[in-house]
Amino acid sequence: MSSSTEVLVIGAGVLGLSTAAELLRRGHAVTVVDPGQANASAVAAGMIAPAFEALADWRGSDGRLDRADLFRAARTLWPAFATAFDLPLHREGAEWRGPDPEAVAAQLRWLGFPAERAGDAVITPADWRTEPVAALSRLQGLPGLTVVAGRVLDLKTDGARWTATLEDGSGLAASAVVLATGAVTALDLPEPVARLIARVQPIRGQIAVTDRVLVDRAVRGPAGYVAPCPGGSVIGATMEPDRTDLSPDLTRGVALVRTCLAQIGLSESLPVTWRVGVRGATPDGLPMAGAAGLAGLHLALAPRRNGWLLGPLVARTVVDGLEGRAAGPFAPALDPRRFA
């Protein structure tokens, strides 16, 4: 499909909006529909962190190096993506403070990332950062993008076109649809897509925000991280599988803040506000990006802890698939049909 297509993107998180931006850039007519409430993408710290996220995955699970290659490739797309859509991008690197810095530095290097010891810390220039709220707002405001406020209840095809029915009874039709609905959606979908979506596990995350500037780059450790954000710092984040409620859990939150502040040498308590979001995750921890197994329906879903890092790669993969272009090297690892 090389000519211009009308595409409906359902969901205005980082994956939906990144995909919409890439579609627009390639000349397609794009409508995004979303109810407009705060989502996981707005709650996130905005770290674009291939090095420390690859390290966390490699230590925590299957020992595969290909995760590091994929994360590195995703980050490589960020400078052009940020320039094309005028998104904030901070390249100050990130730091580890915790036990065994020599081993952490060696493991990062083994995964292919630069890492240096600085006293008890380990610094890598490989991890960057964006500002989620500003980036979402710039993507939503892209010239030529149509944004509709509403929740889709039902999605159907007659074989040629797709029709989404919204809760106010109105309909939106398009020749292709990108489903980017995050961790939780009550949307009625045809098989086999409904079965794929059912594989997405919600993982709740809670993060604290303070107006104190505590660090000048993300500082990570075994307990979590403290990272800069506009006007202060964020301290996070919990990983709470199968929880979808959005009320702050003060017991967990206060314990997290205390241990993260201790990592940067602070023992005082700080006034904070809480933000809670729900990430979607697949069984292998990588997103579903690409064709869903029904003509004209594509998925951009479930990037777990790395929606911001992976946004441009997911967008490129989904749009290449939608246009019928040759699959990039990471498309098989992201193909939603691996869970069919």
Ligand X SMILES: Cc1cc2nc3c(=O)[nH]c(=O)nc-3n(C[C@H](O)[C@H](O)[C@H](O)COP(=O)(O)OP(=O)(O)OC[C@H]3O[C@@H](n4cnc5c(N)ncnc54)[C@H](O)[C@@H]3O)c2cc1C
Residues binding ligand X (CB under 6 A): 10-16, 33-35, 37, 39-41, 43-47, 151-152, 180-183, 185, 187, 205, 207, 236-237, 277, 279-280, 301, 303-309
CB of 119 to ligand X, least distance (A): 25
Neighbours of 233 (CB within 10 A): 26
CB of 339 to ligand X, least distance (A): 16
Q: CB nearest ligand X: which residue?
A: 13
Backbone angles phi, psi at 197, to 5 degrees: -65, -30
What is the three-class DSSP state of 12?
coil
Q: Which residue's CB is nearer to ligand X, number 47 or number 108?
A: 47
Q: Which residue's CB is nearer to ligand X, number 103 or number 213?
A: 213
Q: Which residue's CB is nearer to ligand X, number 14 or number 123?
A: 14
Do strands 171-174 and 6-10 pair parallel, antiparallel, or not at all (unpaired)? Answer: unpaired
Q: Could you tell me the two tokens for 94?
A: 């990130």
Q: Which residue's CB is nearer to ligand X, number 267 or number 289?
A: 289
CB of 279 to ligand X, least distance (A): 5
Rounded Cα distance, 333 and 306, in Å: 15
Q: Which residue's CB is nearer to ligand X, number 101 or number 307?
A: 307
CB of 3 to ligand X, least distance (A): 27
CB of 178 to ligand X, least distance (A): 11
Q: Residues with Cβ < 8 Å from 105, sequence gap 6 or more? A: 115, 116, 117, 122
Q: Residues with Cβ < 8 Å from 326, sequence gap 6 or more? A: 320
Q: How far is CA 306 from CA 40, 50, 121, 212, 279, in A?
A: 11, 9, 23, 25, 9
